[in-house]
Structure 1
């Protein structure tokens, strides 16, 4: 018996973190991208609404596929096929336009523990993780871009360009912490002089403003990690990236609808 379904809307906020209205918008986005099954071929056992719900539940709870399959009364392999198929549809679209010079973006990296050793490495959290570069709009606080996952031992200064988010930030003013040394387009706080002297008062004031603004990306990362798949991701290869972008899309919906 199917325990969770679109015909039981009371479960949607509990298992997805989205309101019923926000979830409806998510389904509309996925349907508009062409995820609805058309033409010949074996039909899905679940409707598109229920398949989107399955992926949202999987991302929010980080239950195993076997556990999610039981909730939807399907096999583990069928649940895996649903996640693999809808993952790219249920993801934040990459930035396709050049930003105006007035736009201020904030970038930061976060470590996502990941089982797939081909995209992860032992890192400072003592686990095999990926370095995920996340960019938000400083004004709206919405997620703008998610970089390609890189091994967790990769520094932010390299990950910024190697993950591709530098292209997503093209044309905008970009803020980051002191870990982005070497990327001249990133606005970083002033460092203390090497001779041990104190910073001038005006530089300390600017650093204080920088910290207050940059804290917004820390709040965004904490919000994104309320979707538990970013605390221990079992997806492989591009599945890690699709999951992170899916979480980013759902977080944006929570903030705007």
Structure 2
């Protein structure tokens, strides 16, 4: 499941489900998220942030440790700052997983899952927005 979240930990968008075990970068493209959010990739600024599984897919990712070496202090600092910002996405994913239908595992007709995921995403976005207006 590919999730776009803001820096406040609120779900903004979820990609279409991708069948099978896929690498994060492949699922990013197949799910439709890459195409829908192409204007938010890191060209002139941080744009979209992701973990190391998305290297080469467009979003800004932490630096990987070079083979047989260590990261420079500057790169370690960059990774620390990127990962602190990415924590908001992990909170957003946790909020989605609090919905019982996603928490316990989806055990229904798989062709209905995209609709269920879109419904849960819409409800979570509404919930997060409504909480902000209290």
- TM-score, normalised relative to structure 2: 0.83
| Kept after mapping to 1: 8 A contact 2:25/2:54 | yes
Higher strand share: 1
* 1:230 is aligned to 2:98: no
Determine the structure 1 residue equivalent to 2:24. Answer: 156
Structure 2 alignment gaps of length 5 or more: 41-46
Give the match's secondary structure for 1:212. Answer: helix
> Quick one: distance in 2 between partners of 1:169 and 1:137?
13
Q: Deviations over 1:19-72 (max 9, x none)?
A: xxxxxxxxxxxxxxxxxxxxxxxxxxxxxxxxxxxxxxxxxxxxxxxxxxxxxx
Determine the structure 1 residue equivalent to 2:83. Answer: 211
What is the CA-CA distance between 1:148 and the residue it aligns to?
Answer: 1.4
> Quick one: distance in 1 between partners of 2:81 and 2:20?
29
Runs of 4 or more above 4 Å deviation: none
What's the Cα RMSD here?
A: 1.5
> Quick one: distance in 1 between partners of 2:95 and 2:116?
15
Using CA pairs under 8 Å that are at least 6 residues apart, name the structure with larger relative contact order, 1 or 2.
2
Aligned residues: 123
Structure 1 alignment gaps of length 5 or more: 1-131
What is the CA-CA distance between 1:239 and the residue it aligns to?
Answer: 1.6
Give the match's secondary structure for 2:39. Answer: coil
What is the CA-CA distance between 1:224 and the residue it aligns to?
Answer: 0.8
Higher helix share: 2
Give the match's secondary structure for 2:2. Answer: strand
Matches within 5 A, 1:39-58: none
> Quick one: distance in 2 between partners of 1:239 and 1:134?
19
Determine the structure 1 residue equivalent to 2:49. Answer: 175
> Quick one: distance in 1 between partners of 2:11 and 2:4?
6
Matches within 5 A, 1:7-26: none
- Bigger radius of gyration, 1 or 2? 1
| Kept after mapping to 2: 8 A contact 1:176/1:188 | yes
What is the CA-CA distance between 1:170 and the residue it aligns to?
Answer: 2.1
